[in-house]
Chains A and B, each alone.
Chain A
Amino acid sequence: MSATVTEAPAYVYGVSWADVVLGDAQGIGEASVRAVEHGELAALVSELPSADVRARRRDLLRHAEVLQQAFEQSTVLPLGFGTVFESDGDVVADLLEPRYEELVALLQSLDGLVELTVRALYDEAGVLAMIVGDEPRIAALRGSNNPADQVALGEAVSQALAERRARDGDEIVASLSSLAREVAVEERVAEFEVVRAAFLVGRSAVDEFDAKAEDLARRHNGVIRFKLTGPLPPHHFVSEQWAS
């Protein structure tokens, strides 16, 4: 089904094969999503109501959801949030046509691969209890009324947390990396965060990856909470091979 060519601004979610099946997810600003085709490729596009759009959380979630639904049936190259062309014609003239070979090669290299993301957060009480249990010095400083002791206690806990965080993060990444083709580890942004990482995995290995993550969650029960998201389009794994 070919797209109606319009002159309105075109918001682009990603690129897929031309036989991509779109889901029913609405796009940004409640616009319907369609495929703009060129040869074997199709850009996933929706018409932007106006160029002056302030993105809300639902827009960010929609961007991801549109890609997710297309991904159920096809390989998808995700774009970052916020790419708009002046028209469908420009999507073809400025993206699909000039970068055709690169896009085809990139899509082919990602056929059959999925992204799984893992985020691990400490249960605050759980990890602090572990720390107190591990270090007699910390246990001894608890309950002291001396303000200097309190600062020393806090510093010791902070230090212990940082060390435990690094160790746990490394263990988790190492354990799951053995099943992945590629790994992307993000920077932690909060103290009680253990790790956030993305793994590129063959579809046939997803079950095994899931089981391994489940095992980690079981072993760290009460101290670390694990969240596994996916299979997702390979958001983390497309930009390196792409020169913008």
Chain B
Amino acid sequence: MAVATQGTASNYLQRAPSPSGLADVVDLILDKGLVIDAYVRIAVIGIELITIDARIVIASVDTYLRFAEAVNRLDLAQTEKAGIDQLREGGGKAKDKAKGAAEGVKEKLGGPNGSSRD
């Protein structure tokens, strides 16, 4: 996939025309969309589960030590270069999942201007 050879228009953003992984799709179709009282919900996705406050886990000493370890292991001379290289190469799989999406986003244009939503 010719990522690096594209112009500056699309070097940095990872695009997907539609959800490619579960982490994308759960935000769209769990507890989203129209909710209909119907015959049965496919009751495997825990829609009725009690939702605990979705705050990030409260930090503990364990967490602090892990942060310390991560920071201690940083090779600062390498990090900036590595960070940029990582992104250019698409971080491994991530760009492979994009499926040539830059063109996909633009091809869907051309519809009428949206009416105001009030």
Residues of A that sit less than 8 Å from B by CB = 9, 11-12, 14-15, 51, 53-55, 57, 60-61, 63-65, 68, 72, 77-86, 90, 94-95, 108-114, 117, 119, 123-126, 128-129, 131-133, 138, 141-143, 150-151, 153-155, 157-158, 161, 181-182, 186-191, 196, 198, 200, 202-204, 206-207, 210-211, 213-214, 216-218, 221-223, 225-232, 235-236, 238-239, 242, 244
Q: Please state if B44 and A112 are interface contacts (CB–CB under 8 Å).
A: no
B-chain residues with CB within 8 Å of residue A65 when the two chains form the complex: 18
A214–B25 CA distance with the chains assembled, in angstroms: 22
Name B13-66 residues within 8 Å CB distance of A: 13-19, 22-45, 47, 54-57, 59, 61, 63-66
Pull 21 A–B residue pairs with CB atoms less than 8 Å apart, ordered by A.
A60-B26, A64-B29, A81-B33, A83-B36, A112-B112, A112-B113, A129-B74, A141-B68, A151-B64, A153-B72, A157-B70, A158-B64, A181-B116, A202-B113, A225-B94, A226-B12, A228-B14, A228-B105, A229-B15, A229-B18, A229-B24
Q: Please state if A153 and B29 are interface contacts (CB–CB under 8 Å).
A: no
- Size of the B side of the interface (Cβ < 8 Å), in residues, is 76
A-chain residues with CB within 8 Å of residue B66 when the two chains form the complex: 154
A131–B71 CA distance with the chains assembled, in angstroms: 9
Known: A12-B36, A109-B117, A112-B115. 5 other contacts (CB 8 A): A12-B38, A61-B19, A112-B114, A153-B72, A214-B9
**Count, A-B residue pairs, CB within 8 A:** 281
B-chain residues with CB within 8 Å of residue A157 when the two chains form the complex: 64, 67-68, 70-71
Report the minimal beta-carbon distance from A147 to chain B, rounded to whole angstroms.
9
